[in-house]
Structure 1
Amino acid sequence: MITEILLGTGVGLALGLTGSGGVLAVPALMLGLGFTLPEAMPVSLISVGISALLGSIDGLRQGLVRYRAAIVMAISGTLIAPLGIAASHVLPADILTSIFSILLLMVAIKMARQALQHYRDQQSGVGHPLEFNCMLRPDTGRFEWNPKCFFTLSSIGGLSGFSSGLLGVGGGFLIVPGIRQFSNLNMHSIVATSLAVITLISTGTVIAALFHGAQITPQAWWFIGATCVGMVAGRKSAPLLSGQLLTLGFALLTSVVSMALLYKYMLPNFWS
């Protein structure tokens, strides 16, 4: 029980701080509690979905959530998620684990580069590019909608939905760097908007997973409850930390988790 609480709290804390920490739920369940990937996926989706709901409520209360963007990404993700679920029933568990590990590492490198580039720009006095695919309107602080912005956000949502169905993760690890890359939204609003998308996508994906026979054990419910507690703590702490620090910290943690998964699940198969 103690292990479940500690791991769940850590995942929730990371999710609340970064908006993408839910991707750590699957590794925590596999490495810390001995779950297989198929067993970890529904538990991860439920814990991340409920926790993200709590974070979304806090983000909406603070006016940080760009809810139109969240709805566009969530609709796209919900429509694509069944394809990921179907693929997860076809691909072997070791292949899925390998895909997950490599994807984690790639995203960690991307997020670290984004944070370091932003820091270098600040030090040199260079501003952000004048144009992104999605630009905030100065008068309202909301996105200026056009076909390019709509397609960009829909694509980010679709990729996150597919990963949610395929790997049992909330998709925030794709949403956060995606919005950061293609918009001028600040990091704290990106996190809040990501949590709203995760809430909407995870709900549909959880229902589909349970429909396909996924089981939740009492051990898993301790993890889920602790994740919610960690989320609340993370959202309270997030305003105290800079977006660059959060991004770099999460990138480092994700890299370590990715290498641990590769070491435990891929190298034995490679050398056998």
Structure 2
Amino acid sequence: MLTIILGALVGLLLGLTGAGGGILAIPALTLGLGWTLINATPVALLAVGVAAAVGAADGLRKGLVRYKAAALMAGAGWLVSPLGLHLAKWLPGAALMALFGSVMVWVSVHMFLKARAGCPADEDMDPKNCQLNPSTGHLKWDVRCATTLASIGATAGFLTGLLGVGGGFLIVPAFRKFSDVPMHGIVATSLMVVALVSLGTLGHLVYQGFSLSEEGVLFICATLAGMIVGRVVAPNVSGQRMQQGFAVLCAVVSVLMIGKVLLMMV
């Protein structure tokens, strides 16, 4: 029952907040169910990847996904994610947990401040590396735009391999900062990238002998169900309040993870 509840909660937040909610999959498995980070990573990747794929499919149906941008970011992520996987093997479990907790602190503070400030009026006046063509509605492709998107994808891929997160918490704000794509398109495109990078990274783990347990299947199914509910409910939820609440939740979870690391060191 706890596995179902935690999986559904992760999926619900994934659907409500966009791809950023996937960062809670690892804490749900490690703190909630007592798994090690090594055992939790493949299940978290599969759960987030499948759930994000459902959200991305909905975005494709509605014409929101910038599929060329998603393909470029995902391709860069695929190339770099094995480096993260390799480094994760060499780092002690406590170090990885501490690093994950630190990343969650950054995510929570960044998201809370952004939500509290709302959308500053001068934000849209900043020059964008990737701009839409007003006449076609498509991105204007040049070296600057391609390099920016590839860098975002590569960073997300590295973190996916290292920490088992989908990278949506990075893709959404970065894509928003460096492009003038509307927010609905950013979230849908991010979900596509998260799905491709997560499932691609999982392929490396499957090649290394990963097998899925019955509890893992249950968690994944619950995450998928929660994602569907979240996508249905999302239009009726205040985005600012949701981001603030999610930021506070991330902060609490990060403190618990860092506390667990400190207990391991005692």
TM-score by length of 1: 0.92
Q: Deviations over 1:165-210 (max 9, x none)?
A: 1111111111112112222223222211111001111121111112
Q: Deviations over 1:78-137 (max 9, x none)?
A: 000110111111111111111111011112222223333334x36xxx562242122222
Q: 1:136 to 1:113 in 2, by over 3 A?
A: farther
Pairing 1:14-163 to 2, within 5 Å after superposition: 14-18=13-17, 19-119=19-119, 121=120, 128-163=124-159
Residue 192, structure 1, aligned to residue 178, structure 2: no
Q: Deviations over 1:215-272 (max 9, x none)?
A: 321111110000000111111122223443343332222222111111222x2245x3
Backbone CA RMSD of aligned residues: 1.7
Q: Deviations over 1:129-161 (max 9, x none)?
A: 242122222233332222221111111100110
Q: 1:133 to 1:113 in 2, by over 3 A?
A: farther
Q: Report the equivalent of 1:4.
A: 3
Q: Deviations over 1:62-93 (max 9, x none)?
A: 11111111111000000001101111111111
Q: Structure 1: how far apart are the matches of 2:264 and 2:3?
A: 28
Q: 1:185 to 1:255 in 2, by over 3 A?
A: farther
- Larger displacement relative to structure 2 (143-152 or 77-86): 143-152
Q: Structure 2: how far apart are the matches of 1:118 and 1:139?
A: 29
Q: CA deviation at 1:6?
A: 0.6
Residue 178, structure 1, aligned to residue 177, structure 2: no
Q: Structure 1: how far apart are the matches of 2:142 and 2:117?
A: 27
The code of the aligned residue for 2:60 comes to L
Q: Which stretches in structure 1 are left out of the alignment for 5+ residues?
A: none
Q: Report the equivalent of 1:268.
A: 263
TM-score by length of 2: 0.93
Aligned residues of 1:110 and 1:177 also touching (Cα < 8 A): no
Q: Structure 2: how far apart are the matches of 1:173 and 1:115?
A: 14
Q: Structure 1: how far apart are the matches of 2:250 and 2:66?
A: 26
Secondary structure at 1:35 match in 2: coil
Secondary structure at 1:207 match in 2: helix
Q: Report the equivalent of 2:12.
A: 13
Q: Structure 2: how far apart are the matches of 1:250 and 1:66?
A: 26
Moved over 6 A (4+): none
Q: Which stretches in structure 2 are left out of the alignment for 5+ residues?
A: none
The code of the aligned residue for 1:261 comes to M
Q: Structure 1: how far apart are the matches of 2:144 and 2:245?
A: 31
Q: Structure 2: how far apart are the matches of 1:244 and 1:181?
A: 17
Aligned residues of 1:20 and 1:191 also touching (Cα < 8 A): no
The code of the aligned residue for 2:14 comes to L
The code of the aligned residue for 2:4 comes to I
Q: 1:248 to 1:147 in 2, by over 3 A?
A: farther
